[in-house]
Each structure stands twice: as C-alpha cells, then as structure tokens.
Amino acid sequence: MPSFPDHPQRYDLANELHARPFPSIRHGSQAAIIALKPVKNAAARDRDADRAHLIALLDRYDAQHPKPGATHFSGKLGRYHLKWEQHTEFVTYLVHGEGLSDRPFDSAIWDLFPQDWMATAPGPRITSAHFRISEAISDDDAISTCLKDWFEPESLAANRVLDGNAVLASDFRIDPAGHMRFAIFPRPEAGPARIGRIVQRLCEIETYKAMAMLGFPKAGELNARMAQIDTGLSALLRDMTGDSTAPDQQLDQLLTYATELENLMSRASFRFGATGAYEAIVQQRIEILREERFAGRQTFAEFMLRRFDPAMRTVKSTETRLRSMTDRAFRAGELLRTKVEVGRSAQNQDLLESMDRRAALQLRLQETVEGLSVVAISYYAVSLLSYLLAPVAYEFGIEKPWVTAALVLPVIAGVWLMTRRIKKMVH
C-alpha cells in the first residue's frame, strides 16, 4: 500500500464528526439539562473558566477530568451520566440516570448540582429543563391522563414522533422549581439509542429556543429608540424639501442620526444574526422529529408557530427596519450634502465674480496711479534738467522757459517708455 502524507489536522477533523454521540437512555429514566450564559459579551468569554467550573463539579464526585482545551465531555457523575458541551455563547450540562419516583418530576436529580457550585458559575442560567422518560406505555388514555395532571392544558403541546416510536409533551412553562418540563412516553420497541436522540433533540429545541428569544427584548429596546429617531428624521426630511436657510445645521443633525443608527446596527448585528441561526436550528430539530398529532393536541411546530414565530418575526422586522432607516439616513445625507455643495459652489461663483470686479477696479486704479506717476516723475525730471541746462542755454541766448518747454515732451515720452518696460519685466 502506498503511504500518503496527511494534513496535521486530518484525524482531528474526522474524529470531530463522531466526538459528540447521542446519550443512551433507557425507559424509566430521568434527565435534566441546564444552560449557563454570561449576561454580556458571552461569545468572547473566558472559556477556561467554563472548564474550571466543570472540573470543580467533577472533583466533588471524584470523576475523570476532560482533556485540556476540550469543548465537550462525557462521563459518570455518581450514579448519573454527565454530558457537558461548550457552545459559542453558553455551556450545557446534561445529566441522566435510571429510576423514577412516584412524583412525576422529582427534584432529586437536581441535587447533583450543589447550590454553592452554582453560585460560582461563570454565567447565570439561561434555561433548564426536566425530562421524564416513562416506562413503556401503549395506552393513549393513560398518557392523556398523565398529561392532564402534569401540564397546563392551555399551552400543552403533544405529538407522536419518529413514526410513532414515542409521545412527547410539554407546556413550555417554567414550573415552581424553575425548570421546563418535558414528558416522554416511548413505545416498548424504542431502544436506548433512539430515546437518547429524542432527549438530545428536545434539549436542543429548548436551549436554542431560549437563546433565540434573547433577540426579542433587544428588538423591543431598538424599536423604542428607532421610533424617536424616525420622528426626528422624518421631520428633518420634510424640512429638506422646503427652502432651508440652514442646510449645514440640517446636515450635522442628519449625520448624527445616521451615526447613531449605524451604531445601533453594529451593536445589534451579532444578536440578530445569532437569533436567526438559533431559530433555524429550532425549526430544523422539530422537523427531524416527524411529528404527528396526538389526542387532538397542538404539535410542537404549531406551538412554535403561535408563540415562538411571532417573536422571531418581530426580531426580523426590527432588523429590516433598522437597515432601512440607516440606508434612508445615509441617502438623505448624500442628497443634503449635494445640496450644501451646490449652495457652496454658487457662493464660490459669486465670490469669484466679486473678486474679478475688485481685480478690474484695482487694475484701473493701478493704471490711473501709473499715469499720475508718469506726470509726477516727468515734472521732477523736467525741473532738474531745466536747472541743469539753463546755464548752457543762457550762453546761446536761450531763456530758461524755452528750455523747460522743450524738455517736457521728450521727458514725458521717456518716462512713459521706461514705465512700460518695467511693467513688462514684472509680469
């Protein structure tokens, strides 16, 4: 066999596809999941703190530690099985074990998470859920009786899943203990692997639903501020259509609105993008269950359509509105900037014309001064020459006035020619 050089990450990438197997859960078991998420900047959190918190829990049960830098871990925790996963914004702890008590959702399984350990968590709980996997029940009437006793009828959703291999039910309400409740009634032929996949899908539906809903209050905050900006922006745009006397001030105000909208978009883009991704996962996980209606109850998909989807549509419409307002503000800014530039161009044209008039006036004034200068210089030149030539002229019998008169025209001509030559040399 020929030997080929492998990419350094080839085996790691291939093994990653098999690194998170579904849990194996039997009939007559319980499972619980808790998701922890920092309130702010969860995507950039200290992930080592997540692992340190996990290790603190494992040490209480003398359990094996995960590998350094691990993003997932499975192991024994006392008589329970633990599955820990680190996600982009949160971490999840899923525990499951066999045995059911007479109480439908006995809180004993939650004692696995000590109170003082929870107090040191790197983030608060975003959601938690309790799963009751019943012994094999094939009687629909018995299942309906349990659902009536365990859940709120008004919001109860129940369905058959995976070609009738199990009945799932939940009212998606937080119970007095602070957890969501899910009941699973698997058929006798449903094996541990299939039950484990069902529990895993329900865990994903609940956690990603909770994460997706984080976009809803963010949308509410943005809608309130956007309504204020929209009022001011609409008034400003109306003023732009009139004869504005202060376009520069309008441009400054418009740029202020555009900058704030862009800032809102920047701060909300991650949350809105994450909400869209989480919503898609929720819908995909529900679709995988292949639901069928049970006892006339609404399915999980119908519950999401009535309760979850409107919140997601609000988030999407808020994102669309924010983008639209940002684009509108920048387009208006470009129009107003063009208006300001046109106004400034007209002012510059007037200024240039005024400068041309002043230049022409200065030229005429300069020519006048040059003429007066020729006269003045000629006067003094004639006077000096007349004094210089008077004695010579006297010897020839010519009187001084005649000498002065004879000098006027040549001197003026000479001074004028000299002035013209100097002017040409300067230019």
- Mean pLDDT in each 10-residue stretch from start to end of the chain (427 residues)? 75 70 92 96 93 96 91 92 95 95 89 94 96 88 93 94 94 94 94 95 97 95 89 79 66 81 89 95 96 94 94 94 86 71 69 77 72 70 72 70 73 74 70
The pLDDT of residue 403: 66
- If asked whether residues 185 and 241 sit together in one domain, one would say no
- If asked whether residues 342 and 384 sit together in one domain, one would say no
Give the residue numbers spanning the domain of 236: 215-351
CA torsion angle for 110, 156, 102, 25 (degrees, to 10)? -60
The pLDDT of residue 238: 77
Query: Torsions phi, psi of 369, nearest 5?
Result: -65, -40
Number of domains into which the chain is organized: 3
What SS3 state is found at 4?
coil
Flag whether 1 is in a domain. Answer: no
Alpha-carbon distance of 302 to 312, in angstroms, equals: 14
Alpha-carbon distance of 154 to 148, in angstroms, equals: 11
Q: Are 123 and 37 in contact (CB under 8 A)?
A: yes
Q: What is the pTM of this model?
A: 0.77
Flag whether 10 is in a domain. Answer: no
End residue of a domain, out of 351, 381, 397: 351
Flag whether 209 is in a domain. Answer: no
Flag whether 340 is in a domain. Answer: yes
The pLDDT of residue 420: 72
- If asked whether residues 37 and 148 sit together in one domain, one would say yes
Q: Which residues contact 31 (CB under 8 A, 6 or more apart)?
A: 23, 25, 94, 95, 96, 97, 109, 130, 131, 133, 199
- If asked whether residues 136 and 235 sit together in one domain, one would say no
- Residue 425, token pair as written in the block: 């040399």
Flag whether 412 is in a domain. Answer: yes
- If asked whether residues 174 and 261 sit together in one domain, one would say no
What does the radius of gyration of the chain's CA atoms come to, in whole angstroms? 45
